Every structure is written in structure tokens, then in C-alpha cells.
Amino acid sequence: MRLTIDKHLPTPVYKQIKDAIKEKILSGLLPAGFILPPERRLANINDVSRSTVIKAYDELKALGLVKAHRGKGTIVAEKTEPENPKKNKQVFPLSWHPLFEKKMHNISDTISDMINTENQREMISLAAGIGDPQLFPIQTLQTIQSDRVHHELFNFCAVEGYYPLREHLSQLMTLRNIVASAKEIMILSGSMQGIDFAARTFLSPGDAVIVEEPTFLQAIQRFKAAGAKIIGIPLDKQGLRTDILEAQLARYKPKFIYTIPSFHNPTGTVMSMERRLELLDLAYKFQVPILEDDPYGELNFTNDKPLPLHALDHYGYVIYLSTFSKVLFPGMRVGWVVAPEPILKKFAILKQISDLHVNTPAQVLLNRFLEDGHFEPHLNHIKPIYKARRDIMLSVLKQSEDATPLIVPEGGFYLWCKLPTSISQKELFALCAAKGVSYIPGHVFYPQQSDGEQFIRLNFTHESHQKIKKGTEILLESVSYLKSHGKHHPMKRESRPIV
Amino acid sequence: MRLTIDKHLPTPVYKQIKDAIKEKILSGLLPAGFILPPERRLANINDVSRSTVIKAYDELKALGLVKAHRGKGTIVAEKTEPENPKKNKQVFPLSWHPLFEKKMHNISDTISDMINTENQREMISLAAGIGDPQLFPIQTLQTIQSDRVHHELFNFCAVEGYYPLREHLSQLMTLRNIVASAKEIMILSGSMQGIDFAARTFLSPGDAVIVEEPTFLQAIQRFKAAGAKIIGIPLDKQGLRTDILEAQLARYKPKFIYTIPSFHNPTGTVMSMERRLELLDLAYKFQVPILEDDPYGELNFTNDKPLPLHALDHYGYVIYLSTFSKVLFPGMRVGWVVAPEPILKKFAILKQISDLHVNTPAQVLLNRFLEDGHFEPHLNHIKPIYKARRDIMLSVLKQSEDATPLIVPEGGFYLWCKLPTSISQKELFALCAAKGVSYIPGHVFYPQQSDGEQFIRLNFTHESHQKIKKGTEILLESVSYLKSHGKHHPMKRESRPIV
């Protein structure tokens, strides 16, 4: 509580304090029961001595305006006038749950624990969905940032994003064979916001949406929160099974198809060119938009950089999302969308009624990073390092058959591994956690979480070479231990007919 | 298109380029019709001479893989094998509008123009909803920022926000008489995100929500987007008319009450202590939560800093939102919510499925700003300046009766002024715009935009003293001109009964 005190006035300071508080009490600003700050604190805040405050409080007590309360300190006294009995009504605590929108019950917060795992320093995280912070180009940033602090950096920017950054992203897109002007690009708070906005733009409760199965877990959560019916289409080594897709498109008439075609999360799969063209043909045939999520496309470990669906689409069916979170800084929360005009208009409206625009300094910094030509050299720096980490993880995994990668991904962040059928995911997760290793159990990537019980996702980009080796070894030891010592988990007994 | 070229190889560079592109075409990576980069550009990207690229393109032409296309450049040729006639199907352009979620039609983007007005440098903006960028504490930031660029600054942070910032906000809250631990505070991407999350947490289509009338225009848009019934309660000089509120609570059973009790936007009103207590009593009686939006509460020009509703609420009915956007940097997009646990849990889930967490560097910077004790001195610096600007605007307005402030606000950002009834808002807005002055017409602050036609909102914090004076003078001249020269706008003719 800061009070207006003037030490040059003839009125003693303690009296000024007393009067100021008295006025606040009489005006009702400080209601009965309000706890005044402890004397020492009020003294510090107002730069007066503690004894001055004690004197002021004593005068207020003498006036009956405050009283000492054991355990609470000095509190504002009840008014002495007799209480109006009608006023003395009972207040019931608010029961929040019946007030919640019913779709809020569709989603749980089981994922937050996994996301927060990274904060536990001692753990080896094979669970992370991010790169290695040690590889962030901090030196470069320091150079960029040092002489560029100015007023506009902290001001509002346009809802659609900082225009120079949109221009540089337009140039970046040509390297992915996507031709899009700055006006066809909008900056988002991470590509997650693009998934959120697509859900808000298209999905009513009961609407269908097609996803790969497995897929990005927050996409599943977001579509569930919209009350959508989530139709999972399995993958094989060529990516999305377009043969299965066709029948589902006819049956469910989905609002859109959500896909991660390049270095898919969680499996690392790259959709083949043939499948990409088939997917587009099906989208055209059934008039269904495609939401293409491309956070990992630039992280190719061979010379084959996958061509985005957007680059192959000549009819404007693809909404393309990408982000700096996987290749540069997750903490910046800067992603973008390339989309046809009707979609960008809806997204701009949603931006205005959700968070107005993306943090300006982050946009200015990233723009400068692109403008000065740091982006490609940075990619060329990190890719061989991540490739070597993938290789060390693979070489450890090859030593047994206890966690077998389904494919060897040629880029991205993840290995998708199959466990022996006899292993309990819960037991393995607990055992690894006890030994200081985390990963993500496979079932969370499935719309129906009863699926995926036999899989786990391992990240090979977040930890150092040594820790990846050690973490993977601990994982294998744990699987091996559970195979011999774990509770026995036989196949479910067949049900006998009741006769 | 970056190609893998090794100048030390015996193969000539032009041939390496030719082979690389040939492979991409044959593998289907570059489909028919794909436009190759102009020669000069490809040469620059790959750091080779233009003539080398021309030679490579010529060879590709000779192979029939590409062809020159007037106006487009070099494009990938169709395959020469005869087309499968079944493949040659017609693709219809996607019709987006029928796919949109129906609630998306509830909101328009009329507000974006007004928000973007600030970007027009020549204009005097009395429309802005922000402070003066010249008053941003840039020097301080420079000092804070210079030696603190490190890896963690750009990493993920917890969904609920950077913990040290939550701790410092907990201390800041005690200065507003709100007792909340760091765990009861969550960081948001501006307080707008709190309004968005409240809408998502509570509102199903058809649900009622109570707002002051007029109120913050994006709140109206957000509640409309949720399909809610928006019940406006008028204000008087004491704030929200609690006498009217009671009947509406009984009638509409709203999901929550949205209020800006301190230096209200757009009117500048401060809700009296009596009304605050009545509002809380009604909330308790009808078991309705209150969403308290407090962006301006710290901007008091007298010694009376209004006490937030949250500080007066002993039963946990109030969800309290605040932000740094009005007092520090709008471009940072950092706000916060203080709320009971069930609400924070829902907000954390929503954060995960919308944008994960707030930009980390902004949180670290603001935390340091608070920690080093810069916040209160900054407030003490800007408040007298804003007060002086309010006074200059008032003194100009007093020279006529053409735009009369309804109240003299003792803080905040805005004067809410009444125009003569004969003036057309559209004509005035156009005339002022032509003369280089913008403001916000009153009707956008009303749930039913047919109301508020006689009012305008003037901001007195964004522009300099001189520009505020000049802008206000131009406004008055324009009103005066329209009174004498404008089209005549008589009161609507009474309808005659048809007999």
C-alpha cells in the first residue's frame, strides 16, 4: 500500500499515514476484515521508519477503526453501528463445473506432465519435441539484437504479422518450391495456433476430420475440444494409406484432412510423391481442404528435401503451416500459415479476438535473422549433428530387438519403436522414469488411446550425443528387465460363451 | 532451389546442375508445369555464374525435360508418354464458405481497419488503444537486455508461464490489494487471451453473458463468435447499473459477467465502491462468476487507485485479468490471469491446444523489469504526462459544445464524448480522416451496433501534447462544419398509421 506522504509538510508523517488510512477505511476503500500490511512492510514501501507506522496504527486502533488480530496482524474493524440483519446473508461457494462449456470435458490435461518433463534437469529426455538448446544460434542473435532496441520493437504490429518478416518468409517459401506473396502469408503464435484456428474456422461438434494414425497429440486434443469426430487413417512406409482414405472420405465427408507429410510426428515417415499426388487427387475429387503441417520438412538428412503438398497443389486446396520452433527457437512461438485468401481473412479475425498479434520483438529478430542470411547456414550446421544423434540411437537400438524402429527416418526428430508384446507400458514408463529417462508412450498419438500400446516415440535431437546413448541404453535395459522380471501380461483370455 | 554442387569434383558444374535437376524431374519431385528459378537467381543461390546455369538449362531442353515458356521462363515439360484419358479429370475450385463453422459468420472484420490506423504515420490517431511509444522505457530495457542473451531465453517454458515472472506478479498484485500466490497466476498472451479463454471455458451457443454497455469491442466480438447472447447493462457515473443488473441476472441466468470496473473502456468511468460491493453481492446471490478486466487500474491520475473487485471478493467468484500492454509495451503481448484453481486448470489446457506458452524472451525481460524495481517509477513517470494530455484535450473540447465528454475520467486512456444529434457519424469520420485525424465511432462498443450513434471515443495517451491539441481542434472544426454544411439529418419521421 503506497500512500501519499510529503515529509516537508508541517503535519507529522505518522499523522499523514493515519489520515490516509482513515480516509480509505471511511470511504469504504478498505473494507472490514481487510488486513493492513505489516508495519515493517508499510514502512519500507513508503520509505519511513517502522516506529512511525506503529504510531499511526496505534492511533487508528484508538479510533476503533482497526484492531490487532492474533495471527493476522492489523485488520480493519467492523463498523460499530448495529448490523442490518438482512445484510448478514450466507454466501455459497461457486460451483464451477456445471458452468463449464460441455466440450471442455472432452479434453484432459494428461499431456502437461509430459511437456513439463523437460524442465527436470536431471532427466535424460527422449520425450522432448524440441531441438538442442545448445545449438541455438545465440552468438548471431546477440549481434543482431545489440544495436536494435528501439521503440517500434515494442509497439503493436499488424494482426497479420510484421510485414518485412512476411516478405522474407515469402522468399524462404520459394526454397520449398512454394510460390506465395507476403500477403498470402500470416504470422502465427507457433504453428499450433494454425491448428487451433483451423479447428475454429471449420469444426462444429459432430463434424468429421481426417488425421494420420498416429499423429501429433495436440492436434488430436484440439479436434476433440471442438467436439469433432476424429477419423484416423493408418500409415505405411509410403505415408498415409490413400487406398483407405478414399472410402473414409466418401463415408464421413470430413471438413478437412490434417497431415504431417514430411518427417511425420511421431513416426518419421515421409509421404511418397505418388501418395502426395493421390492425396491431392482425392482432395479435389471430394472437395476437401488439406491442412498440411510442416514443422520438420527442412530437417532432411539426405539430399532429398520433401516437396510440400502446397507446392504440388495447383487449385488452392492446401492450407500450409510451418514454424521456427523445431529448427530455431521453440520459446519464440513464431510460426506461419500460407493459405488462400478466404482462410487468411478468417484467421485474421480469429487473431483479433484471441491474442491480437504475435510478439513484435520476436518477429523483428527473426526477420533480421532471415534477412542477414543466417537461416540456411544454421540448418546446414544442425542437420549433420542431428543425423549423427539419430545414428547413435539407432546403433544402440540395434544391439537388441527390444525396441525396434519401424523405419529409419531420413530427417526430423523422432524414432518410432515397437516394444515386445509382453511389456506393460505403465511399468516401463515408471521404471525408466526411476532411472532418469523419459520418452512418450505411443498411445497418446492415437485418437482412440487404446491403440498404440506397443509403441514409443524417442526423440534424438534434444539431448547430447552421450546422453542419447546413455538414455537409449537405460531404456533397453529396462525393457530387458521387464521381459524377465515384469508381471506376466498374457494375451487377454478368450471369452467363453455362456451356455 | 539449392543444389548440391561440389566445385572440386571432376564433373563440370553445369553438368552437376543438369543432373541434379534431371533427377528431381524424373523422380517426380519437380512435376510437369513447375517453373524453374530464373537463371540469374539459381546462379546466385548456388554461387555459380549465370552462364553455367544457362548451359545446364539448355541441356535439359535438349533432353526434352524442360521447355522455354514465354512469360513464365523455364518450365518442366509434360511427360511424352500418352496421357491416360481417365487421369485427365476436371478439378473444381474449392468452395470454402459452406465449409466454415456457422458461428464464424457472427463476426466481421470491420475492426481491423481501425486497429491498423496506427500504422499510418501521417494520421493523428485519437483512435489508438495504446500509450505513447516515445514513453516506452527503452533505455532501461537496453541495460537489462544487453548481457542476458542465453540459451534458456529462447527455449520452451511452462504452459502456465515463466515461474519467476509469476512470483513477481504475485508481489505486484499485493500493491493492488490482491493476495495471490505465484501458482494462482498464469501468464497469457495479453489479457485478450483471457477473454478468449473465458469464452471457450464457459460459452455454448445461446448462453447469455452480461457486459457493460458500451464495452471493449473485441470482447463483444469474442462473445458473438461463441454464439452467445450478449446482455448489455447501461452505465452511469457510478459505473454498472446494479439495479438493472439484478433483473437481468434473474431473467437470463448468464454464464458470467464481464466488467471493466476501473477507468472503463470506452467511457473512463470508475465503478464506485458501493456498486462494487453490490455487484459482488449479486454475483453471490445468483452464483455467477465475474470476469474482471483491469488493464487501466494502475493509471490513476489522483491518489485514489481503485480497488479491484478481486480484492473485495472473499468467496472466489472473480477471475481477474490484467496486462502490460497499456502501461508498458503492447507489442510484447504479455498479460495474466488470477483465478481459482478450476479455472486455471481449464486455461492451462486451452493454452496447450492454442499456442502452448507465451513468448519466453518477453517473459524473462518483463520479469527482470519488475525484479529490478523499474515498474513503479515507470508508472510515476508516465501518469503525469498522460494526465496533462487529458487536460489539454479537455481544454480544447471546452471551447465549444460540439463534442462534450460525459465525464472527466481520473485515469485511463479515453474521453467518451457526445456529438450533436444532427451530425452523421459517417460524414464526420470521413471528414476527419480526410483532414488526417482518426477516432473510434461509439457504435462499435455496443452489442447492438445501432446504439451509440451519438458517441465517439477519443484517446489522449498515444499522441504528443501538440498533436492531441491539433487533432482535437480538427475534430471540433469538422463537427462545426457539418452542423452548418452537412446533409440535413432530421430526426426520423414518425410513422403514420395506415388507415
How many Å apart are CA B424 and CA B413, to the nearest integer?
25
How many Å apart are CA B48 and CA B40, to the nearest integer?
9
Residue A131's pLDDT is what? 92
- Ramachandran assignment for A323, one of left (phi > 0), alpha (psi -120 to 50 degrees), beta (any other): beta
| Nearest-Cα residue of chain A relative to residue B317 | A94
Does the beta-carbon distance from B349 to A104 stay under 8 Å?
Answer: yes
**What cell numbers appear for B7 in the block?**
566445385
| Nearest-Cα residue of chain A relative to residue B353 | A222
B95 CB neighbours in chain A (<8 A) are 287
- Nearest CA-CA partner of B335 in B345, B346, B347: B347
If contacts are CB pairs under 8 Å, which of residues 251-270 in chain A contact chain B? Answer: 255-256
Q: What is the amino acid identity at position B488?
A: H
Q: For the residues of B68-89, what is the DSSP string, one character each?
A: EETTTEEEEPPPSSPPPGGG--
How many Å apart are CA A301 and CA A298, to the nearest integer?
9
Residue B138's pLDDT is what? 85
Backbone φ and ψ for A459, nearest 5 degrees, come out as -95, 135
Backbone φ and ψ for A320, nearest 5 degrees, come out as -105, 125
pLDDT at B88 over 70: no
Place of cell 487533432: B471
**What cell numbers appear for A49 in the block?**
521508519
Residue B149's pLDDT is what? 66
What is the separation of C-alpha A258 from the centre of its chain, rounded to a whole number of angstroms?
18
Residue A82's pLDDT is what? 41
> What mean pLDDT is reported for chain B?
88
A63: pLDDT confidence band, cut at 50, 70 and 90? confident
A324-377: pLDDT as tens digits: 999 998 899 999 999 999 999 999 999 999 999 999 999 999 999 999 999 999
If contacts are CB pairs under 8 Å, which of residues 210-229 in chain B contact chain A? Answer: 218, 221-222, 225
Of all residues in chain B, the percent with pLDDT exceeding 90 is 63
Place of cell 517426380: B28
Nearest to B133 among A152, A203, A345 (CB): A152
pLDDT at A115 over 60: no
User: Which residues does residue B438 pair with via DSSP β-bridges, in sequence order?
Assistant: B125
pLDDT at A402 over 60: yes
Across residues B98-105, what is the average pLDDT?
84
| Nearest-Cα residue of chain B relative to residue A255 | B99
Nearest to A154 among B154, B303, B329 (CB): B329
Does the beta-carbon distance from A193 to B355 stay under 8 Å?
Answer: yes
pLDDT at B112 over 60: no
| Nearest-Cα residue of chain A relative to residue B219 | A353
| Nearest-Cα residue of chain A relative to residue B114 | A158
A34: helix, coil or strand? Answer: coil
Does the beta-carbon distance from A316 to B94 stay under 8 Å?
Answer: yes
Spell out the SS3 assignment of A288-310: CCEEEECCCCCCECCCCCCCCHH
- Confirm if B213 and B192 have CB atoms less than 8 A apart: no
Does the beta-carbon distance from A333 to B357 stay under 8 Å?
Answer: yes
Residue A203's pLDDT is what? 95
- Angle in degrees, 0-180, between the axes of helices B217-225 and A341-352, rounded to the nearest 10: 120
Q: Which of A337, A347, A355, A459 to mutate to test the interface with B (most CBs of B within 10 A)?
A: A355
Across residues A210-229, what is the average pLDDT?
95
User: Which residues does residue A229 pair with via DSSP β-bridges, in sequence order?
Assistant: A208
A287 CB neighbours in chain B (<8 A) are 92, 94-95
| Nearest-Cα residue of chain A relative to residue B324 | A154
Residue B115's pLDDT is what? 47
Ordered domains of chain B (ranges, CATH)? 13-82 (1.10.10.10), 142-373 (3.40.640.10)
pLDDT at B12 over 90: no
How many Å apart are CA B18 and CA B193, to the nearest integer?
52
- Nearest CA-CA partner of A475 in A417, A389, A422, A421: A417
Does the beta-carbon distance from A133 to B154 stay under 8 Å?
Answer: yes
State which of A80-84, A105-109, A230-234 shows the largest mean pLDDT: A230-234
pLDDT at B494 over 70: no
How many Å apart are CA A391 and CA A103, to the nearest integer?
43
Give yes or no for B4 touching A (CB within 8 A).
yes
How many Å apart are CA B248 and CA A431, to the nearest integer?
57
Q: How many helices (H) and strands (E) does chain B have?
A: 16, 16
B390-435: pLDDT as tens digits: 999 999 999 999 999 999 999 999 999 999 988 898 999 999 999 9
How many Å apart are CA A205 and CA A221, to the nearest integer?
14
| Nearest-Cα residue of chain B relative to residue A224 | B353
Total beta-carbon pairs less than 8 A apart between chain A and chain B: 301
| Closest CA–CA distance from residue A288 to any residue of chain B (Å) | 8
- Count Cβ atoms below 10 Å from residue A455 Cβ, excluding itself: 22
Place of cell 542476458: B148
Residue B422's pLDDT is what? 86
First to last CA, chain B: 79
> What are the distances in angstroms from CA B364 to CA A54, A147, B370?
38, 19, 10
Give yes or no for B92 touching A (CB within 8 A).
yes
First to last CA, chain A: 79
What ipTM score was computed for the predicted complex, to two decimals? 0.78
Does the beta-carbon distance from B362 to A358 stay under 8 Å?
Answer: no
Spell out the SS3 assignment of B134-145: HHCCHHHHHHHH
User: Which residues does residue A124 pair with via DSSP β-bridges, in sequence order?
Assistant: A437
By DSSP bridging, strand A335-338 and strand B124-125 are unpaired
User: Which residues does residue A234 pair with via DSSP β-bridges, in sequence order?
Assistant: A213
A436-463: pLDDT as tens digits: 999 999 999 999 877 788 999 999 999 9
Length of chain A: 499
DSSP A339: -
Backbone φ and ψ for B486, nearest 5 degrees, come out as -65, 165
A493: pLDDT confidence band, cut at 50, 70 and 90? very low
Backbone φ and ψ for A338, nearest 5 degrees, come out as -115, 120
Residue A86's pLDDT is what? 46
B83: pLDDT confidence band, cut at 50, 70 and 90? very low
How many Å apart are CA B88 and CA B90, to the nearest integer?
7
How many Å apart are CA A142 and CA A129, to the nearest integer?
25
Of all residues in chain B, the percent with pLDDT exceeding 70 is 91
Residue A12's pLDDT is what? 83
Spell out the SS3 assignment of A213-230: ECCCHHHHHHHHHCCCEE
Contacts of A355 (CB under 8 A, 6+ apart): A189, B189, B190, B192, B193, B196, B333, B355
A310 CB neighbours in chain B (<8 A) are none
Across residues B279-295, what is the average pLDDT?
96
| Closest CA–CA distance from residue A421 to any residue of chain B (Å) | 32
Q: Which of A22, A78, A333 to mutate to test the interface with B (most CBs of B within 10 A)?
A: A333
Does the beta-carbon distance from A133 to B151 stay under 8 Å?
Answer: yes
**What cell numbers appear for A357 in the block?**
498479434
- Nearest CA-CA partner of A126 in A397, A443, A440, A412: A440
A148 CB neighbours in chain B (<8 A) are none
Residue B461's pLDDT is what? 97
Give yes or no for B379 touching A (CB within 8 A).
no
- Confirm if B277 and B312 have CB atoms less than 8 A apart: yes
Give yes or no for B96 touching A (CB within 8 A).
yes
pLDDT at B280 over 50: yes
Residue A155's pLDDT is what? 83
Residue B320's pLDDT is what? 98
- Confirm if B190 and B321 have CB atoms less than 8 A apart: no
Does the beta-carbon distance from A349 to B312 stay under 8 Å?
Answer: no
pLDDT at B229 over 90: yes
B4 CB neighbours in chain A (<8 A) are 303
- Nearest CA-CA partner of A308 in A153, A175, A454: A175
Nearest to A159 among B99, B115, B352 (CB): B115
User: Apex CA B428: angle with CA B424 and CA B437, to 5°?
Assistant: 160
Sheet containing B318-323: order of strands = B185-188, B335-338, B318-323, B290-293, B256-259, B208-213, B229-236, B239-240
Does the beta-carbon distance from A91 to B315 stay under 8 Å?
Answer: yes
Residue B34's pLDDT is what? 86
Nearest to B158 among A119, A177, A303 (CB): A119
Nearest to B332 among A350, A352, A359 (CB): A359
